[in-house]
Structures are given as structure tokens and as C-alpha cells.
Amino acid sequence: MPGDIHYEVFFKKNRKSGWTLSEARDDRDQAIRLAHSLIAKQKDASVRVTKETFDKEHRKFRSVPIFEGGAETMGVEKEKTGEARLPCLTPDDLSKPHARDTIRRVLTNWLERVQAIPMELLHRPDLVENLEASGTELQHAVQKVAIASASDSDAGVHGYVKQLNELVQKSLARIYKDGRDNRLPEYPKKANFADIAGEIHKRDRRAYSLRAAMADRLRHEKKYGDKLEALLDMGDSLPEAEDARNFALDEVDHYIAEVIAFDAGREALLGKCKDLGETLERLACLFDGDHSADALNLAPSAAKRLAKKIKGRALPACRAAIAANILKDLERPKRLRPTSVRDEVRLARDLASRLVICADSTLPADALIKAFASRSARLLQPEIIDELLRHSRGADEDLDRLIALEENLVGEANKQKLAGYIRSTLGSPNADAWYVRGDAKPLERLAKLTAQQAKILKGKYPERDKLELAANFDALGMKIVDDSKILNMVEAGDRPALDKATGLLRLATGGALPIGNCSADAQARALRHLKSAVGLSEAQAEDGRPKLRQIQGMLQELSQRQAKAS
């Protein structure tokens, strides 16, 4: 950063978070305007701007606060006296994957604007000249890296800025010199990649030389989509010798991975998608190498070509970039299907099933589970639940829709929250109106309730919630039993005692009564008839023995069901 004075803007999101260095500016007014814009975005945020003056005598910066705003003020910043140490020391270090990723992040806007990637920037003098002529882009990139480095160390921003400027100047000087000295191989547009890669491998085997040749070829392509097609063409034209082939394919892989790491590059690969769900469907097909999938029918040809190569396990870096995109998109707050909750739920389930099957070290299963659990939590927001239940024809359909959601949720906490929604629905006046006083016959309403309880017992809710919900269904069932006197009706009349016992047990075992007090009441009544004098007499008769065996079988079945439910 030029001069002996700069201004540092510190930011704190809320009272619980810590102070972080947001940015450094040369201009005082710019720094204060930035501080105002930061607190305007978040009402609980706090900011502080300090003037940093370099003390030449003691070789360190002196800090003076010039502005504070927001919910709270900042404590006195401890002066940093450590020595700045960058992980990259030479121009060659900037070509390493971590350094290229940093270049991508701090120069994203400029690189997307000129439709280029870090690998090109490191090997094309014309692109470097363009960057230098852009004004403050390079300076701001240096500041971003310096601020991030200083926040994690005991050295100040100025030390990192100085080292970074020296490294950048060395790198620029090398690229310009290599260009003047014709050390950067050319790649004519119609040349054969196999010949060029084979010649470079035979001559010096330097990745720098091949990358420079590839960058020269991409100079003719002005859009990410065209660059992808050119790179895929290179992947189709590899040297025959195994060593040279692997050498060339590795560079093609990293070049393509860098293109699709950009949002604009990914869009060039996938094409326009109607929503986030369609984007993830296409990414999942690419990750799995499913080049014939319907989801890729409307995607650019580059997507199918890349999927076919990934299927052959040829491009691991590309597959890793796609995996990173999948996780990033799953964690976004946007809906998969903004127009339909049901379609969203269905797609989330399909994506989870597909991705978990093909999960590996590139796309770990635990990271997927975490991402889908986070997305499941968003499905349980009140406005989403309201949309899910919209146009329902009653409490029974409300429960149908809520219970169906359970198998599509990931995470115990989310299933616990869903149980709360189900519990609330069961206790609502609408549930009483539909089940207890509804138009359908009592046995039909009881059967519906029993079917819903059975789904709950089969579900994977936390055990405590499952038992509570089962009891809630049973309690509502008892209201129907008491209100309709349905069990009294079965007992009424002049039928034999064993027939009455059989009728009661059929209700309990045939899906007409919920497990719990409802079925226990029917069981108790059946046993009372069985143990009565009339029942014992009928059991000893010739035609009573088959009935007795049937009753014993139903009692055993009922005991097993009750034990399983508890």
C-alpha cells in the first residue's frame, strides 16, 4: 500500500461475535463511507475505523481511532509486532492449487468480466497487461490477501502488503520477460494438441510450458463456453505415449476445473437453469458421469462431453470442483423448487438418494448429510409448512402431508420439529371437527386415525416423540369411541358372548382402533365376555372351540402389537 498512512475498517456482526478486520483503504473518506455502509446492512453490527501511521524510527504502525459506530465500541486493538510470512515466496509458488484458488477469489469480478481463469493470467503477458491497466483491481486484490493474512497472524497488514507487492512484481516481470524471450510456447488455433503436448513433454516436461501453450490457445476464445469446448477438444486429442498422455490430461483437467469454479463458468457448462433444483440435478449427473440423463438434455454439449469423460474417471480435479459446487448449492438458502413444496420435497429426496450412493472422498457422505439436514430445516419454516398444507381438505389430509414429509427429512432435530407440527395439528379444533364430529361413519374415522398412527410408529422420529405422538393419536381415538359408543354397540344385542369378544378383538387387530387405550379397552371388554359364565359355557361347547382358538390368536397378535408400539 503506497504511503505511510492507511485506514483500517473493523467490523463486528453482533455482540456475541468477535471483531474482524474488514478492509484497508488509502483514503479516509472512503474508509468511513465503507464503515457506514457496513452498519447500515445489519442493525446489531458495530464498526471502527483506525488511522494507521507508519513510524519510521521504530519501524511499526501507530493506530489512532477516528470513527466508531453501531451497537458497541471496540476495545483497544493490540499492536501487532510479528513478522509477516507468506506461504508463497516465488513466482512458481503462485501456480500451486491453493495460490490459484486465492487468485480466483480475490480477482473473481475482473476474471469473470474478461472471461479468463488464474491459469491464463499466470501465463499470458497480454492478460497481465490488461490487469495492470484496469486501475485498482490488482491493488485491491493485494489488500484483500494482506488483510486476511494479518487477521490470522501476529503481523500487521502493512508487512503483508509489502511482501505481496514484491511477489507480484517478480511474477509480472517473469511473465513479461518470458514473453519477450519467446519462452512461452505458442499454440496455433488449428494445431493438434497431441503434437504440442507430446513435443513439450519430450523437450522439457515442464508444466509451465504446457500451461503457457494452452493459455495461448485459449487467447482466441473470448467466452467461458468456448474455452470449455476448446479444452474438451484438447482432452479428445492426447498423446499416445502413456507418460505424455497423463502429463497432458492432468493439465486439461485443472484448466477445466478452474473454469467451472467460477459462477459464470459453471453457467456456461450447465446452461440456463429454471431454478436451483435443475442446477443441482445437472451437477449430480456430471458428478456421477451420467451423460445420457434426461436432466442434461437441455444443457450445452460441453456438459455431456464432460460427463462422459468423468464417467471414464479421467478428470478428478473437475469432479472435485463439481462436488464443491454441489455442496455450496445445497447450503444456499434458495428453494430447489420455488413454485411447489411437494416438488421440492420429492427432488430433495431423489438428490439425497443419488448423491449418497455415489459419495466418496471428493463428496463425503457426512458433508452431504449435514447439507441435507440444513436444507431439511428450511423445509420446516412456518411459511413453508403453511404452503404445504394450503388447499388441504381437512385435518386428515393435513396429517397425511405432514407425515409424508418425515421420510424426506434428514437429522433428528428436524424430525423432532416435524413431530411438533403433527402434535399441534392433532390438538387443533380442526382435528376434533374432522375425527370426532366428522361426517364419515365412526369406524371409518377411527380407521383413518389408526392408519396415521401406524405411519408414525413406522417412522424414524426420536423415540420420545414417537411414543408421545402415538399416545396423542390414541387419545383422539378414545374421544371418538366415547362420543360414538361404538364398542357399546358391538356388545349390545343377544349374540353369543364369544361372538361379541371376537367382534371387539377384530376391531383392535384389524386396523380399526389405535394402539393404546382404545385397543386396551376393546381387549378388556373381550376378556370380560370370555370370562363370563356365559362365555365359559360357550367355550366348552363343540362349536365354541374354533371360536376360542381364533380369540386366543387375536389376543396374542394384539399383545405383540402393543409390545412393539411401546
pLDDT in tens, 532-564: 999 899 888 888 889 899 999 999 999 988 888
- What is the C-alpha separation between 281 and 336, in angstroms, rounded? 10
Q: Tell me whether residue 320 is exposed, middle or buried, using C-beta atoms within 10 angstroms of its C-beta: 0 to 12, 13 to 18, 19 or more.
A: middle
Q: Give mean pLDDT, residues 418-427.
A: 96
Per-residue pLDDT of 9-53, as tens digits, reads 888 888 777 788 888 888 888 888 898 888 888 878 889 888 888
- What is the C-alpha separation between 35 and 46, in angstroms, rounded? 9
The more confidently predicted of residues 211 and 160 is 211
- What is the C-alpha separation between 473 and 507, in angstroms, rounded? 16
Backbone phi and psi for residue 356, each to the nearest 5 degrees, phi listed first: -65, -35
pLDDT of residue 78: 55
Classify residue 221 as left (phi > 0), alpha (psi -120 to 50) or beta. Answer: beta
pLDDT of 134 higher than 90 = no
- What is the C-alpha separation between 346 and 344, in angstroms, rounded? 5
pLDDT of 232 higher than 80 = yes
CA distances from 260 to 271, 326, 333, 557 (A): 12, 12, 21, 60
Per-residue pLDDT of 447-491, as tens digits, reads 999 999 999 999 999 999 999 999 999 999 999 999 999 999 999
**Position of cell 493490540?**
78
- pLDDT tier, 2 (very low <50, low <70, confident <90, very high otherwise): very low
pLDDT of residue 561: 87
pLDDT of residue 149: 79
Contact assessment for residue 126 and residue 186, using Cβ atoms and an 8 Å cutoff: no
- What is the C-alpha separation between 518 and 482, in angstroms, rounded? 10
pLDDT of 351 higher than 60 = yes
CA distances from 208 to 92, 98, 106, 123, 204 (A): 9, 16, 23, 8, 10
The more confidently predicted of residues 203 and 15 is 203
C-alpha cell at 197: 503436448
**Position of cell 376434533?**
432
pLDDT of residue 317: 96
- What is the C-alpha separation between 535 and 350, in angstroms, rounded? 56
Going by C-alpha positions, the residue among 236, 96, 93, 224 that lies closest to residue 164 is: 93
Annotate 70-132 with DSSP letters as a single string.
ESSPPPPPPPP-SPP--S--SGGGGGSHHHHHHHHHHTHHHHHHHT--HHHHTT-HHHHHHHH
CA distances from 303 to 90, 173, 311, 329 (A): 36, 38, 12, 18
Mark out the alpha helices in 181-206 (DSSP H runs).
Answer: 193-203
pLDDT of residue 59: 63
CA distances from 392 to 96, 397, 418 (A): 57, 6, 18
Residue 410 DSSP class: -
- pLDDT tier, 493 (very low <50, low <70, confident <90, very high otherwise): confident
Contact assessment for residue 456 and residue 430, using Cβ atoms and an 8 Å cutoff: no
pLDDT of 90 higher than 90 = no
Cβ contacts of residue 47 below 8 Å, gap of 6+? 9, 10, 11, 12, 22, 35, 36, 38, 39, 67, 68, 69, 70
pLDDT of 74 higher than 80 = no
pLDDT of residue 5: 82
pLDDT of residue 135: 75
Contact assessment for residue 270 and residue 282, using Cβ atoms and an 8 Å cutoff: yes
- What is the C-alpha separation between 403 and 24, in angstroms, rounded? 53
Q: Which residues pair with 25 in a beta bridge?
A: 7
Going by C-alpha positions, the residue among 19, 7, 2, 21 that lies closest to residue 50 is: 7
pLDDT of residue 136: 82
pLDDT of residue 239: 96
Among 32-36, 123-127, 422-426, the least confident range: 32-36
First to last CA, the chain: 70
C-alpha cell at 194: 497431441
**What torsion do the CA atoms of 359, 360, 366, 368 make, to the nearest 10 degrees?**
-40
C-alpha cell at 288: 456421477
C-alpha cell at 295: 436432466
Half-sphere exposure of 341 (CA within 13 A, CB side): 19
Per-residue pLDDT of 370-422, as tens digits, reads 999 999 999 999 999 999 999 999 999 999 999 999 999 999 999 999 999 99
For the chain, what is the mean pLDDT?
A: 90
Residue 223 DSSP class: S
> At residue 113, what is the residue type?
R
Contact assessment for residue 67 and residue 32, using Cβ atoms and an 8 Å cutoff: yes
C-alpha cell at 109: 469480478
pLDDT of 1 higher than 50 = no
Per-residue pLDDT of 247-305, as tens digits, reads 999 999 999 999 999 999 999 999 999 999 999 999 999 999 999 999 999 999 999 99
Contact assessment for residue 124 and residue 219, using Cβ atoms and an 8 Å cutoff: yes
Annotate 246-315 with DSSP letters as a single string.
HHHHHHHHHHHHHHHHSHHHHHHHH---SSHHHHHHHHHHHHHT-TT-GGGTTS-HHHHHHHHHHHTT--
- What is the C-alpha separation between 395 and 433, in angstroms, rounded? 8
The domain ranges of the chain are 5-70, 91-180, 380-484, 486-565
pLDDT of residue 89: 77
Q: Give mean pLDDT, residues 517-540.
A: 93
- pLDDT tier, 520 (very low <50, low <70, confident <90, very high otherwise): very high
The sign one gets for the Cα dihedral 307, 312, 315, 321 is: positive
pLDDT of 116 higher than 90 = yes
- What is the C-alpha separation between 259 and 268, in angstroms, rounded? 9
- pLDDT tier, 81 (very low <50, low <70, confident <90, very high otherwise): low
- What is the C-alpha separation between 335 and 533, in angstroms, rounded? 67
pLDDT of residue 58: 64
